[in-house]
Amino acid sequence: MACRLSEIVVDSRDPEALAAWWAEVLGYRVLGREDDGAVEIGPEAGFGGAAPTLIFAPVGELAPRTGRLHLDVNPTDRDQEAELQRLLALGAVPADVGQTGEESWHVLADPEGNPFCLLRSRLEEIP
């Protein structure tokens, strides 16, 4: 295994309300809030456990032609740069979703153009 699904990011007009609703549905709890208004919820084990967390990210307008969610993956058996090279060799391509270039993650698109992020931290493999 080389990557694990760690987070699902959902664009939201009201991150607090949507996070509260999904937390109730899933039996999750709030794990954190970011300065930009994003809210992360997840199981009691928190980030890095067997189940991915959900991050509700604030957006002013929901773009009609783009997805409202994307996946975040973390390398498990190599560092971020080595995993980036592996993903590119598999057909992923760099994607521009408005990032500044200062992020600690890489934004990529799968072969059908769906964006996803490769995060820096390594997670343990799930047996």
- For residues 72 and 121, which has the higher predicted lDDT (pLDDT)? 72
Closest by alpha carbon to 40, among 26, 19, 59? 19
Confidence of residue 85 (pLDDT cuts 50, 70, 90): very high
Interval 98-122 mean pLDDT = 85
Token reading at 60: 């002013």
The pLDDT tens digits for 40-53 are 999 988 777 778 89
| Whether the model pTM is above 0.85 | no
**Assigned token pair, 106:** 């890489």
* Coil, helix or strand at residue 67: coil
The contacts of residue 24 (CB under 8 Å, 6+ apart) are: none
Map out the domains of the chain with their CATH numbers.
Answer: 3-61+68-118 (3.10.180.10)
3-state SS of the chain: helix, strand, coil percent to 5?
A: 15, 35, 50
User: For the segment 20-45, what is each residue's pLDDT rounded down to a tens digit?
Assistant: 988 987 889 999 999 999 999 999 88
Q: What average pLDDT does this structure show over 64-88? A: 83
